[in-house]
Amino acid sequence: MLETFLNSSVPANYGQLQDYTTWHRRDRTHGTFGGVAVCFRKSLSVQVVEVDKPEHLELIFFKVWTHNNEAVLLCVCYRPQWQGSEPLHFIHTNLDALLYQQACKHLIIIGDLNQHLVARAFDDLLTDFGLTNHVDLTHISGSSFDPVITDLPEGLVTCRPLGIPGSSDHVAILTTVKVRLDRDEPTTRTNWLWRRADWEALRAELSQTNWEDRLTGTLNEQVEAFTNHLLSLQSKYVPCQTYKSRPGDQPWFGFRCREAAHLKSRAWRRLRASSTQANRESYKAACRNMANAQKAAIQRWKTDLTAKLSGQNVGKKEWWSSLKQQQGLATESTIPPLTTPSGEVVTRGRDKAKLFSAYFSTKMSVTHPNNTPPRIPVLTTAELDSLHITMEEVMALLSKTDTKKALGSDNISPHILRQCAAELATPLTQHYREYLTSQTWPALWKQARVVPVHKKGSRADPKN
């Protein structure tokens, strides 16, 4: 938290810290500059709480979730001396309602309150809500101007001074709150090296495939057999790198960085077990390797981004999203913590997906599926006598497949479809003709990846 000297002319990403969100700011409404600003680690589950308050009060409220889905109400405040005890009275008056409305079990209040000038209002706040100030000294005068107030047990909160930063007359305070976070588990990612693929061998095996023997059974069974065969050949002829991707990883942090981090961690464990000269040198080498891997990865990411933005086919949406990512303005948390119909809060990605799935399923279900559908009036007597799909048409479409498109739910890469268009045209043409004849669409191709987009209202409500 910072007392700021910012105004609307200062961009949102000014002074942004690595691995932290952009600043949540409340700039002063009068004068030329001032206000408060807060940032959080991107791994935290945090939501801004909108509170109706006077414009001149420099207060921001947040809701922070812990590992067991309990919520903590965080209030960040700066109290200019000319405001008297008004900010403390506002907090005092509205605190009960906020804790109840936001279902918060605990409370933390931090900021520059200059409480020695409004001691009575400050003491009343602590007494009425059973709060404790964990900071004794925050100013060079020997006074405590920047309290850390909580209702958490003293064993969970520790504060210690770090010294005076720059030309300030306040002491920086490091506050540690011992609450565990419910983090998403790392996921396994596969990085396919398409430029090193053995396309000649892959095409040769596809051309020798006996599709009549392989594609048997129902249409669903044939599609599954076709998909499994392509994926097996992809694994056979396309090199790949598999690594663990963590939710907080930077966009440039890939296989090489993860491998370097693993080697560094292993060297550190050896050094901790035996502090020999050889182990020290090995650890230093691993640190240098990690630094070089990160530097190279960042450079590759910037080069790819430059090439992407300088291309002739880049669209307006792609341009601005890339530019915001480069400037650190990309959305830190696409899906915030969500509230279930029973009032519980989910913060992990898998739980959010299940909640959305359950909600969307109710919207896509038919209440009475056995009812006779309504008769639709006939507007034309024209009929389509026949629809014939040729192998040449399929091959032409496959050869134009955009390799930059994301994978579908079947995980078949567009690289395979484009590079092997001639070999895949025959089985796919056969598939498409059978779908028209049987008036059936394969179940595997009815699956989709859905990305919810917030429209309006509370972002914590899946309905929005």
**Strand 2-4 and strand 24-27: pairing?**
unpaired
CATH H-level superfamily of 2-177: Endonuclease/exonuclease/phosphatase (3.60.10.10)
Tell me the torsion sign for CA atoms 109, 113, 114, 118. Answer: negative
CB 238 within 8 A of CB 193: yes
> Phi and psi for 152 in degrees, rounded to 5?
-80, 150
Indicate if the alpha-carbon torsion angle 305, 308, 311, 317 is positive or negative.
Answer: negative
Q: How high is the pLDDT of residue 420?
A: 95
Q: φ, ψ for residue 18 (rounded to 5)? A: -65, 140
| pTM greater than the 0.85 cutoff | no
**Which amino acid makes up residue 447?**
Q
Q: Give me the residues paired with residue 106 across strands.
A: 72
Strand, helix or coil at 127?
helix
At residue 328, the pLDDT reads 55
| pLDDT at residue number 60 | 92
pLDDT of residue 69: 66
Domain residues of the chain, as ranges? 2-177, 199-237+387-451, 245-332, 334-364
Distance of CA 39 to the CA centre of its chain: 16
Buried b / exposed e over 410-419, threshold 16 CB at 10 Å, is: bebbbbbbeb
Rounded to a whole number of angstroms, the distance between the first and last alpha carbons of the chain is 30
Helix (H) or strand (E) holding 305: helix 277-310
pLDDT by residue (tens digit) across 43-72?
788 888 989 998 888 899 999 887 666 788
CA separation, residue 239 to residues 15, 401, 406 (Å): 41, 21, 19
Rounded Cα distance, 154 and 151, in Å: 9
> What is each CA distance from 219 to 225, 230, 271, 295, 438, in whole angstroms?
10, 17, 59, 50, 9
- Report the alpha-carbon distance of residue 27 to residue 340 in Å, rounded: 34
For the chain, residues with pLDDT lower than 70 are: 1-3, 31-33, 67-69, 137-144, 166-167, 179-184, 247-248, 311-318, 321-334
Dump the DSSP string for 373-390: PPPPPP------------
Rounded Cα distance between 404 and 308, Å, is 11
Tokens of 360: 């969307």
Whole-angstrom distance, CA of residue 241 vs CA of residue 419: 21
